[in-house]
Amino acid sequence: MASLPQLSAVLATAFVTIVIAAVAYRLFATLILHPLAKVPGPKYAAITKYYQFYYDVVLRGRFPWELKRLHEQYGPVVRIGPNEVHVAEPNFYDELYTGIARPRHRDPWEVQGFGLPDAVLCSPEFDIHRMRRAALNPYFSTQAIGRIEPVVRSKLDLLCGRLEDALETRKPVDVELAFMALTTDIITEYCFARSYNFIKHPDFAPDWLKATVGAVEASMLGRYLPFLPAVMKAMPPWLVKMLSPPMMQLVIYTKDQESQVHAMKNGERVEDMKQGQRTIIHELFDSNLPESEKSVERIAQEAQTLVAAGSATTSYFLKSVVYFVLSDPDVLKRLQAELQTAIPDIKELPSSAKLQSLPYLDAIIKETTRTVPGAFCRLGRIAPNEDLKCGQYVLPRGTVISMSTWIQHNDPNLFPEPEAFQPERWLDKKAEDGRLERYLVPFSKGSRGCLGINLARVEMYLTVALLFRRFDLELFETDRGDVEPAHEFFLPISKLGSKGVRVKVRGLRS
Ligand code: HEM
């Protein structure tokens, strides 16, 4: 009979053998048997997606640069996970980001760190996403957004008032904060009929931006620790405040949004809410969504998504456009000349639809959306019912396939000298017939493309036209590093420690 030590040794050997065999089988299955085995890419990436932790969390959002390097080394189709490929082939974009006739799920991993599993943005499954999206679509159509254009204009008037004050005081204005305040005030008015009024805040509520950046950075860790959002939500407020004071702002506003949604469901009047004004949230409660979709918790998640998606994206764009225009005197001069002719009386700002037909303004806006990405994250889709062919590779149904706006917009074959800000590239013949615009995808495309594109466009054209028609501005201690994306926390974030894009108001234009 074997002694106890002998038995232990046999069991330990058996255990080690089983572990080695399991690992060997997993390697064999992933690297040799898997349908993606022939797709090039680093072996470590094919074995585990967790190698991205280093880029996402340790290096704080540097994976897009690694992706770029991988494409330089391996070509346009690279295996970046056991079941994921990343594609840098612009002609494949329309194959991947399709309309509802060709269903696409989204990669749940990308968004699980947000802790908003029931919001439209984070709904991976095609049918559920489609139902949730259909309930929101009517409030973001061109007509619906046309009806709220007066709200955008009234907030812009407040912003102009603040810039006129800055002319008096000669103090620089951080326009990133100002635009974050502007866009948040607009979307909160639309959602809750109760604007946060950040524009009236003496410093444009800087904690709001800090909290948003903190939250999106935390969501990167949440990709790897999906329970993290729930833990953070359950934390007592004093602990959140101790760990991160700006995050406390987010907790306060999240709770405030939840209580507003709750009150709206019960038909109570919310303090400050404009009496009788219908909002998206009211409409969602009255929609023909199934009752299970109308819980306060779910609708509050939808509201939080709209507020976040509707503010940080557009404000990043707006701060960038201010930087690009003011840093190039020729661009500034040409834009001002166009605006002067189109808007002879500054009190009569044309509709955003009219402004969109101004060629140089339009070119500037296109070039800014090309240069700075809206969603910086690669956007993963899964085709459940069809295999997709990309070049020599057949990507079987069920594969996570992603592409990146930033990589596409920096492709020198499409956009020569991609790092240069050149509005003129949108004015030449190739651009005129739409051939170039096909590859400009800041809002993504297809059934999961940006819901807020019409609102974003109204905000962009009105703000840029008004700002450069009405004010003489100059940059103050700002350089390209203050707009260049340096971190991917789903959204683009400029270098940490940036003091923002700051301008001085030099005068008023007549
Ligand atoms: C410059 C401004 C903006 C840019 C560049 C932008 C870009 C994008 C992109 C690329 C997506 C697709 C994300 C994905 O596939 O996962 C998206 C989705 C979304 N955007 Fe925007 N966005 C902007 C402004 C807005 C605004 C003003 C709103 C207003 C509420 C908004 C609401 C949303 C929502 C709710 C989604 C999720 C749509 C869905 O999953 O069906 N966005 N946006």
* CA–centroid distance, residue 309 to ligand 1 (Å): 6
In this structure, the residues whose C-beta lies within 6 A of any atom of ligand 1 are 120-121, 133, 187, 305-306, 309-310, 313-314, 317, 374-375, 379, 442-444, 448-452, 455-456
Q: How many domains does the chain have?
A: 1
Q: Which of 279, 313, 366 to mutate to test the pocket of ligand 1 (most atoms within 8 A of CB)?
A: 313
Share of the chain above pLDDT 70, in %: 97
Residue 48 lies in a domain: no
Residue 386 lies in a domain: yes
For the chain, residues with pLDDT lower than 70 are: 1, 246, 268-277, 430-433
* CA–centroid distance, residue 60 to ligand 1 (Å): 23
49 with 385: CB under 8 angstroms? no
Residue 257 lies in a domain: yes
Token reading at 490: 């789903």
Task: Report pLDDT for 275.
Answer: 55
Q: How many whole angstroms separate alpha carbon 234 and alpha carbon 257?
A: 17
Atom of ligand 1 nearest to the CA of 381: 15
Q: How many whole angstroms separate alpha carbon 451 and alpha carbon 465?
A: 23
Q: How far apart are the first and last CA of the chain?
A: 103
Q: How many whole angstroms separate alpha carbon 210 and alpha carbon 193?
A: 24
pTM of the shown model? 0.93
Query: What CATH number is attached to the domain comprising 191?
Result: 1.10.630.10
Task: Report pLDDT for 315.
Answer: 96
Task: Report pLDDT for 274.
Answer: 58
- Burial label for 325, CB within 10 Å (0-12, 13-18, 19+), is buried
Longest C-alpha distance within the chain, in Å? Answer: 103
Q: Which helix (H) or strand (E) holds 309?
A: helix 296-309
Question: Is 450 among the annotated ligand-binding positions?
Answer: yes
Task: Report pLDDT for 73.
Answer: 98
Q: How many whole angstroms separate alpha carbon 56 and alpha carbon 376?
A: 12
Q: Which of 130, 142, 441, 450 to mutate to test the pocket of ligand 1 (most atoms within 8 A of CB)?
A: 450
154 with 186: CB under 8 angstroms? no
Q: How many whole angstroms separate alpha carbon 287 and alpha carbon 358?
A: 38
Residue 67 lies in a domain: no
219 with 490: CB under 8 angstroms? yes
Q: How many whole angstroms separate alpha carbon 418 and alpha carbon 146?
A: 34
Strands 502-508 and 471-475: antiparallel
* CA–centroid distance, residue 132 to ligand 1 (Å): 15
SS3 label, residue 69: helix
Domain that holds residue 216: 126-508
Locate tokens 């030590």: which residue? Answer: 5
* CA–centroid distance, residue 451 to ligand 1 (Å): 5
Task: Report pLDDT for 6.
Answer: 85
The beta-strand segments (E) located in 435-486 are 471-475
Atom of ligand 1 nearest to the CA of 129: 41
Residue 192 lies in a domain: yes
Task: Report pLDDT for 445.
Answer: 97
Atom of ligand 1 nearest to the CA of 316: 1
Residue 72 lies in a domain: no
Task: Report pLDDT for 295.
Answer: 94
Q: Whose CA is nearest to atom 2 of ligand 1?
A: 314
Q: Whose CA is nearest to atom 11 of ligand 1?
A: 450
Residue 440 lies in a domain: yes
Amino acid at 4: L
Q: How many whole angstroms separate alpha carbon 123 and alpha carbon 285?
A: 19
What is the DSSP secondary-structure string of 119-171?
A: SGGG--SHHHHHHHHHHHGGGGSHHHHHHTHHHHHHHHHHHHHHHHHHHHH--
Write the CA distances from 450 to 73, 134, 327, 510, integer angstroms. 31, 13, 29, 37
Task: Report pLDDT for 25.
Answer: 84
Residue 54 lies in a domain: no
* CA–centroid distance, residue 375 to ligand 1 (Å): 8
Three-state secondary structure along 229-265?
HHHHHHCCHHHHHHHCHHHHHHHHHHHHHHHHHHHHH
